[in-house]
């Protein structure tokens, strides 16, 4: 599977206030919603710590593979040239954690998979030697990447609150955006895999969740997710029984990642 990352650009996005120094109303709404969401996550922070502790061994294991390490360094060079080494390293690590989420879920189903291989400027990919046997298994594997990516963004945002370094906040929000992009229900992206286990009514519910989140977050990427979801609602491959867990996971990821990616951060100077 391939997860598309960010192409180099000239600057890291920053929040902009209105001419009178006040934030627009929709920006304040985004901040309030995101703050409430983050407060809930921190209330559950002990579970995040347990997750990190139990998965740390697997994360370190991937870094011992020469192909992963070499291609990771190549990707770091691309992002370094565009935004500097700190931001570049943060983006690479965010993508790496996302990919290792796929690897971990594949292992649960007994499917052999390679360590991530980075595609400089595009993202990374994981190759596996057999396909998941059911649509539900495929959905679990596909959504595991954004789930781990969400955990990485929350942990990075916690680090920002502790350090107050704008670059850390930028890494957290861009990491969330990358994972939100991968929820597009098209091609071989993770969102398409997540949709394969959803019945037609569940797909309409997922589309409704995307639309409702757009009203709150005003994240333009959600428009693309909505268009892709609308096409999936009319696809002929929708199963009859559906997958309640898959629906909750997909909708929860859309809401969480959209709010995280929309948190305003101080402007970050770039080379």
What's the predicted TM-score (pTM) here?
0.80
pLDDT digits (tens, 9 = 90+) for 185-219: 998 899 999 999 999 999 999 999 999 999 999 99
| Count of structural domains, the chain | 1
More confident position, 257 or 8: 257
Closest to 257 measured CA to CA, from 177, 159, 145: 177
Predicted local confidence at residue 4, as pLDDT = 45
H or E element at residue 117: strand 117-119
Looking at the domain assignment, is residue 49 inside a domain? yes
Distance CA 140, CA 156 (A): 24
Give the pLDDT score at 46: 52
Residue 58 is given by DSSP the state: H
229, part of any domain: yes
| Residue 268 resides in a domain | no
Plot region of 14 (φ>0 → left; ψ -120 to 50 → alpha; else → beta): beta
| 165 pLDDT more than 80 | yes
- Which residues does 39 contact at the CB level (< 8 Å), separation at least 6? none
Does any domain span residue 270? no
CA 92 to CA 126: how far, in whole Å? 15
Residue 145 lies in a domain: yes
Residue 107's domain comprises: 2-12+24-261
- Residue 19 within a domain: no
> Is the pLDDT assigned to residue 15 strictly greater than 50?
no
pLDDT at 7: 34
Q: pLDDT digits over 85-132, tens only?
A: 999 999 999 999 999 999 999 989 999 888 899 998 888 998 887 888
Residue 155 lies in a domain: yes
105 lies in some domain: yes
Residue 2 has a pLDDT of 45
């Amino acid at each position: 599977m391939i997860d598309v990352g960010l192409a180099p650009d000239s600057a890291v996005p920053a929040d902009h206030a209105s001419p009178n120094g006040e934030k627009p109303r929709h920006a304040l709404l985004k901040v309030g919603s995101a703050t409430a969401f983050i407060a809930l996550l921190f209330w559950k922070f002990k579970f995040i710590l347990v997750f990190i502790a139990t998965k740390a061994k697997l994360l370190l294991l991937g870094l011992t593979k020469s192909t992963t390490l070499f291609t990771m360094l190549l990707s770091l060079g691309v992002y370094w040239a565009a935004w500097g080494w700190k931001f570049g390293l943060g983006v690479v690590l965010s993508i790496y954690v996302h990919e290792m989420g796929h690897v971990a879920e594949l292992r649960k189903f007994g499917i052999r998979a390679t360590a991530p291989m980075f595609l400089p400027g595009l993202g990374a990919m994981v190759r596996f030697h057999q396909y998941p046997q059911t649509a539900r298994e495929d959905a679990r594997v596909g959504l595991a990447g954004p789930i781990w990516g969400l955990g990485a963004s929350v942990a990075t945002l916690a680090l920002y609150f502790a350090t107050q370094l704008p670059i850390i906040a930028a890494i957290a929000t861009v990491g969330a955006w990358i994972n939100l992009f991968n929820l597009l229900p098209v091609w071989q992206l993770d969102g398409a895999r997540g949709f394969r286990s959803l019945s037609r009514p569940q797909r309409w519910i997922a589309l409704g969740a995307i639309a409702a989140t757009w009203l709150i977050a005003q994240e333009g990427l959600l428009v693309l997710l909505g268009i892709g979801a609308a096409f999936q609602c009319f696809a002929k491959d929708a199963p009859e029984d559906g997958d309640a867990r898959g629906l909750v996971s997909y909708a929860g990821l859309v809401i969480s990642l959209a709010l995280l990616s929309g948190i305003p951060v101080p402007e970050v100077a770039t080379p």
